[in-house]
Amino acid sequence: MTKKILIPTKLDTVAADLLQANGHYTVVQDAKTDLLALCQAHADSYGLIVRSEKITTEVLDLLPQLKVVIRAGAGYNTIDTRACRQRGIDVMNTPGANANAVAEEAIALLLADLRHLAPADASTRAGGWEKSAFMGRELTGKTVGIVGLGAIGKLVARRLAGFEVKRLGFDPLVAPDRAAEWDVEMVDLPTLFSQSDFVTLHLPENADTRGLVNADLLERMKPGATLINCARAGIINEDDLRRVKAARQLRFLNDVYEKDAPGPKSVADIADLMAPHLGANTFEANANAARRAAEQLIEYDERGIVSYVVNRDVPAGLDEAFGELAYILARLCRALVGKRTQLKLIETSCYGSLEPFARWLLVPMVAALSDDFDRSMDDQAAVRFLKDRGIDYENREVDSSKKFTNSITVDMTGSVDAETLRHASVRGTVAEGVVMISRINDFDKLYFEPVGHLVAFIYEDRPGVLSQITTTLAAAGINIDDVRNPHDSKGQKSIAILKINQPVNEALVTELGARIGALASVAVSL
């Protein structure tokens, strides 16, 4: 007996073709009928493949035999994943299906701007012949900086190879030797912005990247350099770009906005070329997503592969709080080793009853490091993610004699430069349902709850330092909710951990750290 798959959307027919050729599926594809009416007519559906359709409890109630929903694309916020899990329905997505489309669009915007194609077309259609007005520039022989070397950034680097350009890259989660395989030289952000003729952005928007491209970086750009944004609008400080652009005669090419909707755009006055978020809008990307959806469904049924299930259950026997602990430990450890330090090695130790779940706990750790990795994917995907970026991973055999009952230790090592490594280690546990940090580096028995906004400073122990920290924060209007200030095991260094009532400007933390001679100074929101 075949399984019925319902496709209530305008999706490339390759999905239906592959499923029907498999012989185990009957496919109904109908993008015209109302979704609820379609579900009611096909209540015996086993699977559902959708794009942007909203899959609500009302839809699910009409499909009592539904076992799997696949989003042909990356985002799945239109699907009630919790309601699906309660009904035993697995939800999958197809991340990366549009990566090439976005990579090609970034290059297309760049080439179109270099040769003034949009205004030249309009002028020529109007009867003009303004060759001198549209004197262009060539890409060959220039330097291109790629900020973010995930699936899209990596493809940008590869697609640029034929133009004989020098490629610089920045991505703290990609090892330099791995980037070298793509002929990309890894540098820090100030170097990338100062040496590049063109800078293209390919990273997610989150607390660490929001406003990342600010006046400091923009003012380093070469006069006449070009900035391309096909990533997320919030990565650029728009007001800073507006102030710097004219002075340095920068070019700005943009495809992303705060909202995907008609109406005036806030960057219209500073964008030299604009498009309505066309990055993934290609026939090929649509076909890739459709093909991936069908292939994943077949692998799910025939081989039990669940790597792309985004609403997995917590394994039986594991308290869900330890998944949150693993996530927080990785976030905190990453901040301590340096958010822009190139990660080389992640080591974990899972004690007590957590030992059998070490691989599962790696998933929230990797999700804490990058928005490119979804927290609901599986351990095989987590290992692949790290391997693809040249980051080694080791889960250490634990020493039961230490008696660290149900606790997790996360160590990270990164390279600051070719000669300098930086290491950080964090341990935590869950006590009465509350996540607790018990150790940071050599500072033991801390037992503080890592929630909200934190700043931490490690420094050579001496009187008066804590007072300098609290006074500076108070002058900035920041209230302190909790403070821990212990010595290390040798009594030579101190750590000041302060829980504060609001996010703190990274520049303030850096400046304060320099003032007190801190060995490490970090700000992180958990």
Instruction: Please give the domain boundaries of the chain with CATH numbers for all domains.
Output: 3-97+284-303 (3.40.50.720), 99-274 (3.40.50.720), 315-450 (3.30.1330.90), 453-526 (3.30.70.260)
Most confident stretch, 220-224, 439-443, 452-456: 220-224
Beta carbons within 8 Å of 495's beta carbon, 6+ residues apart: 440, 441, 443, 456, 457, 458, 484, 485, 486, 488
* pLDDT number for residue 327: 94
What is the torsional sign of CA 233, 239, 240, 246?
positive
* pLDDT number for residue 486: 87
- Lowest-pLDDT choice from 81-85, 184-188, 288-292: 81-85
For the chain, the distance separating the N- and C-terminal CA atoms, rounded to the nearest angstrom, is 49
Is residue 146 within 8 A of residue 230, CB to CB? The reply is no
What span, in angstroms and rounded, lies between the C-alpha atoms of 396 and 245?
Answer: 51
Average pLDDT of the chain, as a whole number: 91
pLDDT band at 391 (very low <50, low <70, confident <90, very high): very high
Model confidence at 345: pLDDT above 80:
yes
Q: What is the mean pLDDT of residues 23-31?
A: 95
pLDDT band at 176 (very low <50, low <70, confident <90, very high): confident
Q: Which residue has the higher pLDDT, 349 or 504?
A: 349
What span, in angstroms and rounded, lies between the C-alpha atoms of 121 and 127?
Answer: 10
* pLDDT number for residue 417: 75
Model confidence at 402: pLDDT above 80:
no
What span, in angstroms and rounded, lies between the C-alpha atoms of 308 and 312?
Answer: 9
pLDDT digits (tens, 9 = 90+) for 468-510: 999 999 888 999 988 888 888 777 899 999 899 888 888 888 8
pLDDT digits (tens, 9 = 90+) for 294-316: 999 999 999 888 888 888 777 77
pLDDT band at 161 (very low <50, low <70, confident <90, very high): very high
Nearest Cα to Cα of residue 521 among 449, 451, 464, 473: 473
Is residue 88 within 8 A of residue 108, CB to CB? The reply is no
Structure-block tokens of residue 367: 């999700």
pLDDT digits (tens, 9 = 90+) for 49-103: 998 899 999 999 999 999 999 999 877 878 998 899 889 999 999 988 889 999 9
Residue that is written with structure tokens 């952000």 in the block: 189
Model confidence at 374: pLDDT above 80:
no
pLDDT digits (tens, 9 = 90+) for 128-159: 999 999 999 999 999 999 999 988 999 999 99
Q: Percentage of residues in the chain with pLDDT exceeding 70? A: 99
Model confidence at 166: pLDDT above 90:
yes
Q: What is the mean pLDDT of residues 242-258?
A: 95
Burial 448-474 (b: 16+ CB within 10 A, else e): bebeebbbbbbbeeeeebbeebeebbe
Query: CA 423 → CA 183, 305, 342, 345, 347, distances in Å?
Result: 28, 35, 11, 9, 11
- Lowest-pLDDT choice from 47-51, 207-211, 461-465: 207-211
Q: What is the mean pLDDT of residues 231-254?
A: 95
- Looking at the DSSP bridge assignments, the partners of residue 421 are 415
On whether the pTM is more than 0.85, the answer is no
* pLDDT number for residue 37: 95
pLDDT band at 379 (very low <50, low <70, confident <90, very high): confident
Largest CA distance in the chain: 85
CA angle 373, 233, 266 (to 5 degrees): 165
38 alpha carbon, distance to own chain's centre:
36
Q: What is the DSSP letter of 81?
A: H
* pLDDT number for residue 403: 67
Identity at 498, one-letter amino acid code: L
Q: Percentage of residues in the chain with pLDDT exceeding 90? A: 67
Model confidence at 381: pLDDT above 90:
no
Model confidence at 334: pLDDT above 80:
yes
- DSSP string spanning 117-157? HHHHHHHHHTT---TGGG-----TT-EEEEE--SHHHHHHH
3-class DSSP state of 161? helix
